[in-house]
């Protein structure tokens, strides 16, 4: 992880298989912070299109799903005793749409989020960066482990479209009317290899 204030890398732990207690702790820490910042944004008259777009995700329920359902894997990045980011990945039933990989299986990133205090769109003074890169790299490694050769797919929230397109080098397959008109992105084995370089 990168401590923005200290401007240096700090130790973090990647957790494969989030426990119920860890999800509850993350929820208990993220929610009040997010609510406090939403109140501040409302008071300051910040336009709603700049508000965070995943405010109501319930990570406890996602953890239960991951626990009960073998095709889901849930990961977290912990640093300084706090969960800095969470991700839920589906490893079955999703296939590539991109022409060169059409029909081949991929790991689908169902949900990915950084803790609200790490988001430039939420926190006045964001604490850590690299959460997104670490989690995307983790999804790629999971895809390789599943013998999907690094192929991943996800629906990006509008505020993150540019990051997935330009910073991750994923292919933008356009708006998906089946999923709230969100843009759907895929990463080919070549793009995954490039990302990990």
Partner 1 sequence: MKTNLSKEWLTKRVERDEKADVSAGMLDLGRLQAEPPTARVESIQASAETESLHPAFGRLINLWRRKRGLRMDVLADRAQIDLTELIEIERNLHYTPEPRTVYQLAKTLELPSERMLELSGNLVVRDSSLGEEAVRFAARSESVEKLSKDEQRALEEFVKFLSEK
Interacting residue ranges for partner 1, rule: CB under 8 A: 2, 9, 14, 16, 52-59, 61-62, 64-65, 67-71, 85, 88, 90, 92-93, 95, 103, 109-114, 119-121, 129-138, 141-142, 145, 154-157, 159-160, 162-164, 167, 177-180, 182, 196-197
In Å, how far from its chain's centre is CA 48? Answer: 21
User: Cα torsion at 87, 89, 95, 96 (round to 10°)?
Assistant: 30
Least spacing, CB of residue 97 vs partner 1, in Å: 11
d(C-alpha 163, C-alpha 110), whole Å: 17
Q: How far is the CB of 81 from partner 1 (least distance, A)?
A: 20
Cβ 58 to partner 1 shortest distance, Å: 4
Q: Which is nearer to partner 1, 145 or 190 (CB)?
A: 145
- For residues 66 and 87, what is the distance between their CA atoms, to the nearest angstrom? 11
> Cα(4)–Cα(37) distance, rounded to whole angstroms?
19
C-alpha 80/C-alpha 94 separation (Å) is: 35
CB-nearer residue toward partner 1: 190 or 194: 194
**Which is nearer to partner 1, 105 or 188 (by Cβ)?**
105
Nearer to partner 1 (CB atom), residue 182 or residue 192 = 182
* H or E element that contains 27: helix 20-43
């Amino acid at each position: 992880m990168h401590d923005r204030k200290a401007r240096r890398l700090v130790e973090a732990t990647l957790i494969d298989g989030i426990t119920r207690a860890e999800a509850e702790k993350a929820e208990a820490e993220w929610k009040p912070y997010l609510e406090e910042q939403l109140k501040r944004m409302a008071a300051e008259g910040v336009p709603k299109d700049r508000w965070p777009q995943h405010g109501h995700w319930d990570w406890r329920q996602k953890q239960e799903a991951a626990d009960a359902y073998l095709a889901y894997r849930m990961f977290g990045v912990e640093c300084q005793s706090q969960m800095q980011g969470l991700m839920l990945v589906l490893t079955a039933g999703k296939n590539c749409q991109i022409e060169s990989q059409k029909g081949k299986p991929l790991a689908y990133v169902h949900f990915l989020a950084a803790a609200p205090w790490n988001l430039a769109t939420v926190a006045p003074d964001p604490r850590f960066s690299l959460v997104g890169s670490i989690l995307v790299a983790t999804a790629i490694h999971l895809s390789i482990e599943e013998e999907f050769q690094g192929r991943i797919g996800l629906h990006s929230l509008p505020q993150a479209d540019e990051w997935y397109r330009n910073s991750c080098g994923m292919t933008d397959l356009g708006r998906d009317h089946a999923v709230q008109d969100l843009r759907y992105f895929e990463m080919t084995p070549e793009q995954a290899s490039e990302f990990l370089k």
